């Protein structure tokens, strides 16, 4: 059992599969879980903007009979008015859990160090583990056994690609990150993913050539400029243009599923034709954020219920 969910590495293969199974159960039988978090309050702290994460946690917690308290980027900016340590010490006296979207992963590790209640990472510079759970829940729904799949991520090698590659490795999915030179995933996280993949008979690759995505079942896009990066989008369009998720790339790779964590820039990293087309599972993927997170919260806050 794990106390916090910061990198996603807290789950081994069995734990991840169990959690995805619970997510399917909660999605299929919501009324059976309507009191799973009764009497529990969860503080959601956001240092960055959000649509999906904020709402899927808030509404999801409500559907489990719990209570969510949102702190926005002014009141949730840890270290500004008081230290991260004092945020953790205070919040843990009232709340049963903390969900935090932060700039620096170290903010999460400090929160976890001083919080006596579980801390969940809802995006940082290095990881977006709740997103990856929803993504693999979606792939399971589409294909069943994800260990037979190849997933190709195209774009910048950062938080979303890291969490995808770690969970892919964990679940035995072949994974390739197709990123322009200079925007590859973090070398240490890649090494970790390679080691986990080797134990599960899967492969993890990084390439700057879109040909590496040929044979993938699913293609995955993310924004070319992440939150907190002040580079104008116009400035990176040339660098990333070969990595756009469009109909030609779908044909070239033979993929039949398209994912995007959103928010999406239409006609930039993904075309509307693909985003709204038959291969797109992007809205199902967004819906699954709530089911995957609910499974995580029940597992962390009320394990006897599982």
| Catalytic one of 101, 162, 260, 291 | 101
Which residues inside 184-223 make contact with ligand NVA, applying CB under 6 A? Answer: 222-223
The verdict on whether 222 is a catalytic residue reads yes
40 vs 54 by CB, closer to ligand CP:
54
Q: How many CB atoms lie within 10 A of CB 72?
A: 14
34 vs 226 by CB, closer to ligand NVA:
226
Binding site for ligand CP (CB under 6 A): 50-53, 123, 131, 261-263
Point out the residue whose Cβ comes nearest to ligand CP: 53
End-to-end CA distance of the chain: 12
How many helices, marked H, and strands, marked E, lie in the chain? 11, 9
Please work out, in degrees rounded to the nearest 5, the angle formed at the alpha carbon of residue 32 by the alpha carbons of 29 and 37.
120
212 vs 227 by CB, closer to ligand NVA:
227
Which residues inside 105-164 make contact with ligand NVA, applying CB under 6 A? Answer: 123, 158-160
What Rg value do the Cα atoms of the chain yield, rounded?
19
Q: Is 261 in the site for ligand NVA (CB under 6 A)?
A: yes
The verdict on whether 261 is a catalytic residue reads yes
Q: Record the tokens describing residue 303, joined without a space.
A: 């394990």
Q: Record the tokens describing residue 13, joined without a space.
A: 């293969």
73 vs 203 by CB, closer to ligand CP:
73
Write down the least CB distance from residue 221 to ligand CP, Å: 12
SS3 154: strand
Write down the least CB distance from residue 268 to ligand NVA, Å: 13
Find out whether 28 and 56 touch, Cβ atoms under 8 Å: no
Binding mask 67-106 for ligand NVA (x = CB under 6 A): ----------------------------------------
Write down the least CB distance from residue 277 to ligand NVA, Å: 21
Answer with the entry of ligand CP, ligand NVA, none that 51 interacts with (C-beta below 5 to 8 A by kind): ligand CP
182 vs 303 by CB, closer to ligand NVA:
182
Point out the residue whose Cβ comes nearest to ligand NVA: 226
Write down the least CB distance from residue 128 to ligand NVA, Å: 6
Helical ranges in the chain per DSSP H:
13-28, 52-63, 84-94, 105-114, 129-143, 159-171, 187-199, 233-240, 247-253, 272-275, 282-301
Sign of the CA dihedral running 146, 249, 258, 238: positive
Measured between alpha carbons, how far is 279 from 12 in angstroms, rounded to an integer? 30
66 vs 129 by CB, closer to ligand NVA:
129
The verdict on whether 285 is a catalytic residue reads no
Residue listed under structure tokens 């590859």: 184
| Catalytic one of 4, 52, 54, 128 | 128
The verdict on whether 131 is a catalytic residue reads yes
Q: Record the tokens describing residue 42, joined without a space.
A: 């969860």
SS3 43: strand
Residues forming contacts to ligand NVA in the complex (CB under 6 A) are 123, 158-160, 222-223, 226-227, 261
Active site residues: 101, 128, 131, 222, 261, 289
């Amino acid at each position: 059992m794990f106390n916090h969910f910061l990198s996603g590495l807290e789950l081994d293969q069995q734990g991840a599969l169990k959690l995805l199974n619970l997510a399917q159960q909660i999605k299929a039988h919501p009324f059976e879980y309507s009191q799973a978090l009764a009497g529990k309050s969860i503080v959601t702290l956001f240092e960055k903007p959000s649509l999906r994460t904020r709402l899927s946690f808030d509404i999801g917690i409500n559907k489990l009979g719990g209570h969510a308290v949102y702190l926005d980027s002014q009141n949730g900016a840890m270290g500004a008015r008081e230290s991260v340590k004092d945020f953790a010490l205070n919040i843990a006296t009232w709340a049963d859990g903390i969900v935090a979207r932060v700039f620096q992963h170290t903010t999460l590790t400090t929160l976890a160090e001083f919080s006596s209640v579980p801390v969940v990472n809802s995006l940082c510079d290095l990881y977006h583990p709740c997103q990856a759970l929803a993504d693999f829940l979606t792939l399971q729904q589409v294909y069943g056994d994800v260990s037979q799949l190849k997933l190709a991520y195209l774009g910048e090698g950062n938080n979303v690609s890291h969490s995808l590659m770690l969970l892919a490795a964990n679940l035995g999915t072949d994974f390739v990150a197709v990123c322009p030179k200079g925007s590859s995933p973090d070398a240490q996280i890649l090494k970790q993913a390679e080691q986990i993949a080797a134990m599960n008979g899967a492969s993890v690759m990084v390439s700057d050539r879109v040909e590496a995505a040929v044979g993938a079942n699913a293609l995955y896009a993310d924004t070319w400029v992440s939150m907190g990066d002040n580079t104008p989008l116009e400035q990176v369009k040339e660098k990333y243009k070969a990595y756009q998720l469009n109909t030609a790339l779908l044909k070239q790779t033979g993929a039949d599923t398209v994912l995007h964590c959103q928010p999406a820039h239409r006609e930039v990293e993904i075309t509307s034709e693909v985003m709204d087309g038959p291969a797109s599972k992007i809205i199902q993927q967004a819906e699954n954020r709530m089911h995957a997170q609910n499974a995580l919260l029940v597992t962390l806050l009320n394990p006897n219920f599982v």
